């Protein structure tokens, strides 16, 4: 693996398989009371410029289970929040810590942090990418369907950070991807360029019904992400018809599972009935953040 995990483009198919294999082992060990304190004495700094439930709790708990510790650093606690250049923050934190996880808005900030840090940097979420969530998603698909290669994923909704990372991650893992996004809400251009190199394993559609036909996995996300609250009303209009509901699920394969990175807005991107019918896979997906991130932390902070 590279020194940092900044987006799914950083990972090869072999990297993804290695992370998921280790995550599976750690999940098994945890459930059977087997300690795996691979990061004894290591410290992870966690920079939060966006609020979070799952990211903070899963990373903090993960470091504890690995024998290390995690420091919560909000932008109010750092000089970066008062205008210190990110390159200076990166060089200072590299003298104290063994790794940095950052959850922020601009991908550029994460890239700059990694460029100047001598320690690994992990992207906990940006407006462009959400690699840790997608590793948990792939782990869940492999658990539920016993494979990644040959599986068809349908994503319905906004071409946001989840859509970007799911597209890259699923194609890298050998899956086929059908996206249904409204015009004007496409994934990032670099993601489309990457995806189109996979030929007929990738489709960008405007019709959710066509995208869902025969799918093994259906994924979605909120119509207005954090920081887009002012656009919420306009987005509700633009996304009419792009809801995961019983009609959509009836077009999928009978064994199809549903993924949602949470929080879910029932009645908007997904109906309450579909959410509850597939709650087991959705909350497996949430749990797998813990295991997938522990694997990433171990491979980056304590490489064998």
Q: Which pairing describes strands 202-205 and 217-220: parallel, antiparallel, or unpaired?
A: unpaired
Neighbours of 279 (CB within 10 A): 13
Residue of 235, 278, 289, 291 marked catalytic: 289
Catalytic residue among 65, 107, 133, 293: 133
> Does the annotation count 221 as an active-site position?
yes
Which of these is catalytic: 132, 163, 252, 261? 261
* 130 in catalytic set: yes
Question: Are the beta carbons of 72 and 98 closer than 8 angstroms?
Answer: no
Q: Is 103 within 8 Å of 81 (Cβ atoms)?
A: no
N residues, the chain:
304
Among 2, 1, 3, 8, residue whose Cα is nearest residue 188: 8
Q: What's the burial of 158, exposed, middle or buried (CB within 10 Å: 0-12/13-18/19+)?
A: buried
Q: Which of 163, 221, 235, 291 is catalytic?
A: 221
Catalytic residue status for 261? yes
For residue 133, indicate whether it is catalytic. Answer: yes
Pairing of strands 176-180, 202-205: parallel
Task: In whole angstroms, give the CA distance from residue 193 to residue 170.
Answer: 15
CA 304 – CA 291 distance, rounded (Å): 18
Considering 103, 235, 278, 291, which one is annotated as catalytic?
103
Phi/psi of residue 232, each to 5°?
Answer: -60, -45
Q: Which of 7, 38, 130, 260 is catalytic?
A: 130
Contact status, residue 221 vs residue 160, Cβ threshold 8 Å: yes
Rounded Cα–Cα distance for residues 234 and 185 (Å)? 12
With CA atoms as reference, report the closest residue to 122 among 190, 63, 45.
45
Query: Which residues are catalytic, by number?
Result: 103, 130, 133, 221, 261, 289
């Amino acid at each position: 693996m590279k020194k940092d995990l900044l987006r799914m483009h950083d990972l090869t198919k072999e990297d993804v398989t290695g992370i998921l294999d280790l995550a599976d082992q750690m999940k098994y060990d945890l459930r059977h009371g087997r300690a795996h304190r691979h990061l004894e004495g290591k410290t992870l700094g966690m920079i939060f410029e966006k609020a979070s439930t799952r990211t903070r709790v899963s990373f903090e708990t993960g470091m504890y289970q690995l024998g290390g510790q995690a420091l919560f650093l909000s932008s109010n606690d750092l000089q970066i929040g008062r205008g210190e250049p990110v390159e200076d923050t990166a060089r200072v934190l590299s003298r104290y810590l063994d790794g940095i996880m950052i959850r922020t808005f601009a991908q550029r900030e994460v890239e700059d942090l990694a460029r100047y840090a001598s320690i690994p940097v992990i992207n906990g979420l940006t407006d462009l990418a959400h690699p840790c969530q997608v590793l948990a998603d792939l782990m869940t698909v492999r658990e539920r369907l016993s494979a990644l290669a040959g599986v068809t994923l349908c994503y319905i909704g906004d071409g946001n950070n989840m859509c970007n990372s799911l597209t890259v991650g699923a194609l890298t893992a050998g899956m086929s991807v059908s996206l249904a996004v409204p015009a004007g809400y496409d994934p990032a251009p670099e993601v489309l360029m990457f995806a189109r190199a996979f030929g007929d394993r990738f489709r960008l559609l405007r019709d959710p019904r066509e995208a869902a036909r025969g799918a093994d996995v259906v994924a979605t996300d909120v119509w207005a992400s954090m920081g887009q609250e002012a656009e919420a009303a306009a987005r509700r209009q633009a996304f009419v018809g792009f809801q995961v509901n019983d009609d959509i699920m009836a077009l999928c394969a009978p064994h199809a599972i549903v993924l949602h990175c949470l929080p879910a807005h029932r009645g908007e991107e997904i109906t309450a009935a579909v959410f509850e019918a597939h709650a087991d896979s959705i909350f497996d997906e949430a749990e797998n953040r813990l295991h997938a991130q522990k694997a990433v932390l171990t491979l980056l902070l304590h490489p064998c």
